[in-house]
Chains A and B, each alone.
Chain A
Amino acid sequence: MTGSPWSAEFERVLRGYLPLHGPDARLRPDDSLADLGLDSMATVGLLVDVEEEFGIALADDDLTDQTFASPAALWAVVDRLRGASR
């Protein structure tokens, strides 16, 4: 995944929750996750998978529309928590 600002694991997990995103299309930092099919049920699944993948726990204050608005916004939170847990 050269050229992406996030890790390959993040991209793999995230893509699993975006049914409206073409498998060959590039995921851009500011894509709207809602537009790509992330609904409230999918958000829970994504949250749990991301937390397990990176061994982190998002605080309730991070669980906002903004956090799940775009790949870049979610990665910013994940990356911050990932750094803090190292």
Chain B
Amino acid sequence: MSAVPWRAALVDRVLPVVAEHAAVVDTEAAFPAQGMAELAASGLHGLLVPAEFGGLGGGLHDLVGTAQDLAGACLSTAMVWGMHCQQVDTLVQHATGSLRDDVLPRIARGELYLASVTTEPGKGGHLLTAVAALRDDGDALLVDRDAPVVTGGLHADGFLITMREAEDAGSQRVTLVYADRDQLAVERSGGWDTVGMRGTESVGLRIAGRVPAGQVVGQPGGFREIALRSMAPVGHLVWSACWLGAARAALADLVGWLRSSERGKGVDVRSELTAERVARVRMDLEVVSAYLSRVTDEVVASRAGGASLSGVDAQIHLNTLKVVAAESTFRAVDRMVRIAGLTAGYRKDSPLRLERRFRDLRSASLNYADDRLLVSTGALTLMDRAVRLL
């Protein structure tokens, strides 16, 4: 399925750097600058950029595969990179004209790391609404807003920002604009001292600046279509891939430990209890892996056919993927901690490093809240009497 045959070689090149900095990135809640620099230098920042713009021309299968690989080494780095790729996909699918011709080659050269600015105070976490309005001063569009959570925002070279279309527009009329770092004043307005995912450095920002009207991505007020076609589906795919990659690496570490002489006397690998517990972990990961693969196929196929992914069944599948991946991967790592026990599973200084993965994966159900997606899925289920399962 991979469109980039040398993807594995590129990943092999960056993984040691990503892994080397995983611990300090977590301890210091600091952006994974070295890992991201290596990803940029390898060409993987442009994984999804078409070859005609100098990119690797990869597809969504390449994205979910790479995200899993990176997450095994450092989930924060994988998430930062994955969300960059989510923004890249949005630009590839929806940017036109001079904006596209300007930004895509820069991304491919590794010069442009993108952050997403969609969070905003006072809108309750709704992706498809906006509070602060764009203002048109005749020459340019004025951006001025707060964003309480911007993954990697202090380190981004460019931003995709949601704004209300205009001062007289309703909160559902959302416009997506691109801004280069040097077009904005970016000020840190909040910290990021969290349980896990600390290396994403998802601080609060206050952002203000002027951008030409040509930097609107898609139609003014038309962000809903971009969200349905690109941002939400790719977000759910890449997040799920990241969580699965972290849980999978944890299981690989655990199995290696169980098969080695390092394991403590408290763990009897010949016991049926241990076998049953390990089986539950494996099954959770099997189900997420298969469902991720099928939903990726569905998104790729519907894009190839020009479909919008707005159908009831496609939306249910995307929501289900995110929630199942979040619940199952956290449950899996929780079970792994129990299997490994207090010393090998729970201690920070255990070579199994399960506690970091446990803390990181606790964020999965909160990172675009499962509750919100379940409400949406429930409503959509009532609209699908035929029960079109994936």
Interface residues of A (CB under 8 A from B): 20, 32, 34-37, 40-41, 43-44, 47, 60, 63-65
Contact for B382 among A32, A35, A44, A65, CB less than 8 A: A44
- Using A40-B376, A40-B379 as known contacts, say yes or no to A60 and B170 having CB atoms under 8 A apart: no
User: Are A36 and B170 neighbours in the complex by a CB distance under 8 Å?
Assistant: yes
User: Are A40 and B380 neighbours in the complex by a CB distance under 8 Å?
Assistant: yes
User: Are B172 and A34 neighbours in the complex by a CB distance under 8 Å?
Assistant: yes
User: Are B312 and A35 neighbours in the complex by a CB distance under 8 Å?
Assistant: no
Contact for A63 among B128, B312, B375, B376, CB less than 8 A: B312
CB proximity of A41 to chain B, nearest CB, Å: 5
User: Are B310 and A65 neighbours in the complex by a CB distance under 8 Å?
Assistant: yes
Q: How far is the CA of A1 from the CA of B384 in the complex (A)?
A: 33
User: Are A64 and B173 neighbours in the complex by a CB distance under 8 Å?
Assistant: no
B-chain residues with CB within 8 Å of residue A60 when the two chains form the complex: 312, 383-386
User: Are B172 and A44 neighbours in the complex by a CB distance under 8 Å?
Assistant: no
Q: How far is the CA of A41 from the CA of B373 in the complex (A)?
A: 11
Q: How far is the CA of A60 from the CA of B311 in the complex (A)?
A: 11
User: Are A35 and B172 neighbours in the complex by a CB distance under 8 Å?
Assistant: yes
Please, how many residues of chain B have a CB less than 8 angstroms from a CB on the other chain?
20
User: Are A63 and B383 neighbours in the complex by a CB distance under 8 Å?
Assistant: yes
CB proximity of B366 to chain A, nearest CB, Å: 21
User: Are A35 and B383 neighbours in the complex by a CB distance under 8 Å?
Assistant: no
Contact for A43 among B172, B308, B310, B383, CB less than 8 A: B383
B-chain residues with CB within 8 Å of residue A41 when the two chains form the complex: 375-376, 379
Q: How far is the CA of A65 from the CA of B385 in the complex (A)?
A: 16
B-chain residues with CB within 8 Å of residue A65 when the two chains form the complex: 308, 310
User: Are B380 and A35 neighbours in the complex by a CB distance under 8 Å?
Assistant: no
CB proximity of B58 to chain A, nearest CB, Å: 29
- Cβ of B293 under 8 Å from chain A: no
A-chain residues with CB within 8 Å of residue B128 when the two chains form the complex: 34
A41 and chain B: residue at smallest CB distance: B379
B171 and chain A: residue at smallest CB distance: A20
A34 and chain B: residue at smallest CB distance: B172
CB proximity of B250 to chain A, nearest CB, Å: 34
- Using A34-B224, A35-B173, A36-B170 as known contacts, say yes or no to A64 and B380 having CB atoms under 8 A apart: no
B-chain residues with CB within 8 Å of residue A63 when the two chains form the complex: 312, 383-384
